[in-house]
């Protein structure tokens, strides 16, 4: 990792980040699922969203989210391409209102990985392989992230989020990182 960027990731810097609070220890990995528009894969829309360049006129769904300022550290596309938006040591804006083990504001102490997908569409083999490899690399650099501290967005924001959804095979993923 050079300057917080993973060498095997395509860098697409997002302006949607800030410094973590002083003394914050990164000890949580959050797995997300995203597709834009919902249920559609491919295209530049996720990158545009994380770069504040999403055109609200392209799709009706985009009108409601075009001005939202969000990001994730990483995105794994359907074909396994790894894209990085925020340096790992910085705070990406991926979790929103969230809580893990009684601690609010999960962005302060987590790394967010988006999988291009949806709750009801099985994720691709390449995504599991890249997610496992990338997770092991992150754990090597942030040893306080233990396997039990790898969670879904739905685990830290259950009242408002369902991703990565029932289509994500947690058992398969955990076998791959073991």
DSSP state of 117: -
**Catalytic entry in 81, 101, 114, 137:** 114
- Report the largest interatomic distance among the alpha carbons of the chain, rounded to a whole angstrom: 45
Residues 6 or more apart from 36 whose CB is under 8 A from it?
A: 43, 45, 46, 49, 54, 59, 61, 62
Q: Which DSSP helix (H) or strand (E) runs through 75?
A: strand 74-76
Closest CA to 99 of 37, 162, 157: 157
Cα 121 from Cα 113, distance rounded (Å): 17
Q: The tokens of 97 are what?
A: 């209102």
Active-site annotation holds for 47: no
**CB-hemisphere CA count at 13 Å for 35?**
16
The catalytic residues are 114
């Amino acid at each position: 990792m050079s300057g917080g960027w993973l060498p095997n990731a395509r860098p697409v810097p997002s302006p949607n980040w800030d410094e973590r609070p002083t003394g914050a220890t990164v000890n949580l990995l959050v797995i997300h699922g995203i597709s834009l528009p919902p249920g559609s894969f491919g295209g530049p829309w996720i990158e545009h969203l994380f770069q504040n360049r999403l055109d609200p006129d392209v799709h009706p769904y985009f009108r409601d989210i075009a001005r939202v300022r969000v990001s994730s550290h990483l995105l794994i596309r359907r074909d396994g391409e790894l894209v990085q938006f925020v340096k790992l040591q910085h705070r990406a804006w991926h979790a929103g209102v969230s809580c893990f083990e009684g601690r609010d504001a999960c962005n302060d102490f987590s790394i967010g990985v988006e999988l291009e997908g949806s709750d009801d569409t099985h994720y691709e083999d390449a995504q599991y392989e890249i997610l496992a490899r990338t997770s092991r690399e992150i754990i090597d650099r942030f040893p306080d992230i233990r396997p039990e501290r790898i969670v879904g967005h739905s685990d830290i924001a259950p009242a408002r989020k369902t991703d990565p959804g029932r289509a994500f095979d947690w058992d398969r993923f955990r076998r791959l990182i073991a």
